Amino acid sequence: MHCYVSIFRNRITQLCLSIGSSYILTVLWLVTGSVTNALTTKGIRARLYRPADDQLAYYDPCYEEQTLIVYMLFKLRERALQLESQISTNPLLWARRSKDYNPTESESPQGSMPPITEFTYFENSKDESKYRPIEADWVFGPLGKAESSRLISRQQCHKYSSYRKYDDDSNNRLALSRDLHGFYNGLNTQLPVMNITVSSVSEQPQVDGRYVVELLVEVLNKSYRNIIFPRLKPGPTIIYSSTLVAKSSVLVLNPTVFKTWIHWKSKQIDKTRRDYHDIISAVD
């Protein structure tokens, strides 16, 4: 039986502490959540307590039948955000956010993973595992399996009838490691910390009837540059330190489709980043 955690951040509780005739106003960050079927899964409370303790949170759990209700108070907003990131990437606690809810789906959000987190592994025999990675072979370990990272999600493909043909289109895919998949989609970070755009496309097919598509991989800051860029495929990887951009490449059968959806994905990432910073600015 699966358990699901629902986390809602950005809720601020203001506590007035009375000292004599004066008041001290203390602003605390309250992170609340719930874990269904918590009593049937061993170690849930400990897995929540440890990151809460690491982030110096006041941790107050209680049960409502099979559901664990959690309240965590933080003095610093940054620690509240870090705690949510830790919980979101815990494989035992699949994250549920209110934005994932789709009222037209009877199982949303409890019974279905949010579209951004859908992934499958490419089998080694698949062409995509050979032609679509942007990382070096050593990144994928001894099994050599990469994750299939969609550029346009399955939900979007089925939302519009004209997009449905791209759901199983191999040109709507990148082959990424688990870590890079997370960085690209914001699965293990507060927001996507890397973005990818097309730099150029070969005029003619170059390898096995496939076109060479040169990519620009842009990262959010120097810290992620040091993590991500060494993972990229060896070759003409040019790093522009001032703009945090490196080069990589893939091979695709239909560069027009690939360019269309990687451009769409890039715009979505830009929007996610703007929305995130707008929320942070509004709270400040």
- Of all residues in the chain, what percent carry a pLDDT higher than 70? 60
pLDDT at residue 197 tops 70? yes
pLDDT for the residue numbered 122: 43
Output the pLDDT for position 146: 80
> What confidence score (pLDDT) does residue 216 get?
94
How far apart (Å, rounded) are the C-alpha atoms in residues 284 and 278? 10
pLDDT at residue number 250: 94
53-86, pLDDT tens digit by residue?
666 677 677 887 777 777 777 777 777 777 666 6
Alpha-carbon gap, residue 129 to 111, rounded angstroms: 30
pLDDT at 133 over 80: yes
Which sequence spans correspond to the domains of the chain?
Answer: 12-89, 127-282
How many beta carbons lie within 10 A of that of residue 156, not counting itself? 17
Are 259 and 198 in contact, with CB atoms under 8 Å apart? Answer: yes
Domain 12-89 fold is Alpha-Beta Plaits (3.30.70)
Tell me which H or E stretch contains 81: helix 77-88
Is 191's pLDDT higher than 80? Answer: yes
Rounded to 5°, the CA angle 245-222-147 comes to 65
Residue 253, C-beta contacts closer than 8 angstroms, at least 6 positions apart: 170, 171, 209, 210, 211
pLDDT of 120 over the 60 cut = no
159, 251, 157: which is closest to 213 by C-alpha? 251
Q: 3-state DSSP: the chain helix, strand, coil percent, rounded to 5?
A: 35, 30, 30
Higher pLDDT residue, 140 or 86? 140
Residue 154 phi, psi dihedral angles, 5° rounding: -60, -35
Range 157-185 average pLDDT: 86
For residue 198, what are the contacts with CB-CB under 8 A and spacing of at least 6? 213, 214, 215, 216, 258, 259, 262, 263
Q: What is the tens place of the pLDDT at every residue in 92-114?
A: 444 444 334 344 443 333 333 33
Q: Which residues neighbour 180 within 8 Å (Cβ) at sequence distance 6 or greater?
A: 134, 135, 139, 194, 228, 231
Burial track 109-126 (b if 16+ CB lie within 10 A, e otherwise): beeeebbbbebeebeeeb
- Across the range 14-26, mean pLDDT stands at 53
Residue 204 has pLDDT above 60, yes or no: yes
Distance CA 45, CA 113 (A): 22
Residue 109: is the preceding peptide bond cis (ω within 30°)?
Answer: yes
Enumerate residues 6+ apart whose C-beta is below 8 A from 18: none
Mean pLDDT of the chain: 72
Ranges assigned E (strand) in 172-254: 173-176, 194-201, 211-219, 245-252
Q: Which of 6-15, 74-83, 249-258 has the highest mean pLDDT?
A: 249-258
Length of the chain: 284
pLDDT of residue 75: 73
Comparing C-alpha atoms, which of 12, 2, 90 is closest to residue 50? 90
Are 182 and 191 spatial neighbours (Cβ–Cβ below 8 Å)? Answer: no
